[in-house]
Chain A
Amino acid sequence: MARIAIIGAGFAGHTAALYLGDKLGKGHEVTVINRLEQFSYVPSWVWVGVGRMPLAKTQFALRPVYRKFGIRFIVGRATEIHPDERYVAVEPADGNPADARVDYDYLVVATGPKLDFAGTPGLGPDGGFTESICTGPHAEHARDRYLAEVDRLKQGEKRRFVVGTGHPGATCQGAAFEYITNLHKDLVRRGLRDQVDLLWLSNERAVGDFGVRGVHIKRGGKIVSSAEFIGAAFKEYGIRHQVRTGVSEVTADAIHWEDYDGASGETPYDFAMLIPRFLGQPLKVVDREGNDASGEVLAPNGLVKVDARYGLPYEELIRTPEAWPERYQNPRYPEIFAAGIAFAPPGPVSEPHVNPNGMSITAAAPRTGMVSGIIGRVVALNIVDLVKRGKMTHGERMTEMYAACIASMGDSLWDGSAATIMIYPVVPDFRRYPNEEGRDLFVTHMEMGLAGAWMKRMLHTTFIHKLKGGIGWRFIPE
């Protein structure tokens, strides 16, 4: 009997759990450790944050799903990994001592990010000044603050809302883009848009970079970039933008930043939603002698080292597609896998920049829900291979991966919109695609319109159905 432990039940961990439970059956033990009782469909928190969807509609209880798949479920916090003795130390939420140690033959670390609000003084709703849509309670807090702003607007006040990235190394610009465009649509709906100065403030090299070096498509015989595409959307929505900016601090009335040239400035604001930097969760790794062995498993940012080639300078990294991991397996402890945001990428996808003051203003590589789900599936199927056949047969680098991303720009099914972006591969491969973009320009695609809004809403319903293990769940792509 094989024992598989999974830390985290987000897109990557929960997807891995479903495939493992489905393919291994009751003869093996799959255990999921998660801090919360429920799965959260994070992409819809944009709508929670503008008050267009209640949080409860984005969540479902995990225990019944895991019961159906024969998976043991522990609600609690994983605190330590003991890779030599192959167990995870857990603080169970109910204090049950039987759940304090989970032994494993294979471990999947799928913790998602630690939201590093502390990395920028004054950032975040807990003790800071800005809002976030990165957790359920944060999205509800953002909603309440936004609605308080709406009340002030109704009194005739003029306000400035700033949305973007709150750290020079942040990622997840896509979610922030969805939030600022949904704010715009909601304000238009309320007849208050003229009273708000909406500003996009980000660490991207150009608008539409999204941490993936931008997207380029062939349209009418010429190449159109996401910079032009998103720039046109911002112009249409009357959203000002300031990129190449690293936020260094937030105070009660201003956002302090430096730019690519080393100039510093402050932007006054009334309401701000800024995404923090993502680090690895604070898991300790302890060897047989009780010593800290984090360096064997974790990169300095706390993310798990995998079968990637680390330390390459950017110019070499973008020409080396095999630097990106294929199996998401830790080289020192091959029974440890990392899936989703938890794995340490070999570097950024977007071009880095260090300003004259030494600030690195570089959009980090995103691992969207789809990419996280794909990696969760690959890891699960490889573990199944190892259990049943002793040999892995699955692999998919991000330089081989297709991803579709639908960025809501207004949730209404009547007059809403979304940017539908299909990107292949996610990380450019200049060897296979020797064009300026390193991508397949026949497959890579971008468009904007009401169809995207329908798709975004459909994804919400379809993915929640899939992730509950509903009928046909295997046939719905990650």
Chain B
Amino acid sequence: MEITPRDRFWMNFKLFQLVRFTVLNLKILKGVNASKRS
């Protein structure tokens, strides 16, 4: 597996990374809520 020029572009494209930032935060919150035991 290699990091391609296309990968490099998306990894630093600010608007796309802003979307990923939101998605990752939501994924983490979802995962945390799913695994909490009462």
Contacts and interface: CB of A to CB of B under 8 A. Distances in A.
A408 B21 CA distance: 14
B30 to A, nearest CB: 8
B8 to A, nearest CB: 8
Interface in A124-152: none
Interface in A95-111: none
A452 B11 CA distance: 10
B37 A445 contact: no
Interface stretch (A28-36, A65-73, A85-93, A416-424): A416-424
Contacts of B28: 404, 422, 477
Nearest to B12: A450
Given A449-B17, A449-B20, A424 B12 contact: no
A451 B35 CA distance: 24
A232 B20 CA distance: 20
Nearest to B11: A449
Contacts of A394: 37-38
A449 B31 contact: no
Given A228-B1, A229-B1, A395-B37, A402 B17 contact: no
A232 B3 contact: yes
B1 A402 contact: no
Interface in A433-457: 443, 445, 447-452, 454-455
Contacts of A236: 2-3
B27 A235 contact: no
Interface in B17-34: 17-18, 20-21, 24-25, 27-29, 31-32, 34
Contact of B11 (A401, A445, A450): A450
B29 A477 contact: yes
Given A224-B1, A236-B3, A447 B35 contact: no
B11 A417 contact: yes
B35 A449 contact: no
Contacts of A322: none
A259 interface: no
B18 to A, nearest CB: 7
A423 to B, nearest CB: 9
Contacts of B10: 449
A445 B24 CA distance: 10
Interface residues of B, number: 23
Contacts of A417: 11-12
Contact of A400 (B17, B20, B35, B38): B35
Nearest to A225: B1
A224 B3 CA distance: 13
B17 A451 contact: yes
A174 interface: no
A422 B27 CA distance: 9
Which range holds the interface residue count of chain A?
20 to 34
B2 A232 contact: yes
B31 A451 contact: no
Per DSSP, chain A at the interface is: mixed
B31 A404 contact: yes
A396 B27 CA distance: 20
B14 interface: yes
Contacts of A415: 12
A449 B12 contact: yes
A447 B37 contact: no
Contacts of B27: 422, 445
Nearest to B14: A450
Interface in A197-241: 224, 228-229, 231-233, 235-236
Contact of B20 (A393, A404, A425, A447): A447
A27 B31 CA distance: 35
A233 B3 contact: yes
A449 B21 CA distance: 10
Contacts of B32: 402, 404, 477
Nearest to B25: A455
Nearest to A396: B37
Of listed B14, B17, B25, B35, residue having the most chain A CB within 10 A: B35
A455 B35 contact: no
A389 to B, nearest CB: 14
A401 B10 CA distance: 31
Contacts of B21: 451, 454-455
Given A235-B3, A454-B21, 7 more contacts: A228-B1, A232-B2, A236-B3, A394-B37, A404-B28, A451-B24, A477-B32
Interface of B: 1-3, 10-12, 14, 17-18, 20-21, 24-25, 27-29, 31-32, 34-38
13 contacts: A235-B3, A396-B36, A402-B31, A402-B34, A415-B12, A417-B11, A420-B24, A443-B31, A450-B11, A450-B17, A452-B24, A454-B21, A455-B25
4 shortest interchain CB distances as A-B pairs: A402-B35, A449-B11, A228-B1, A451-B20
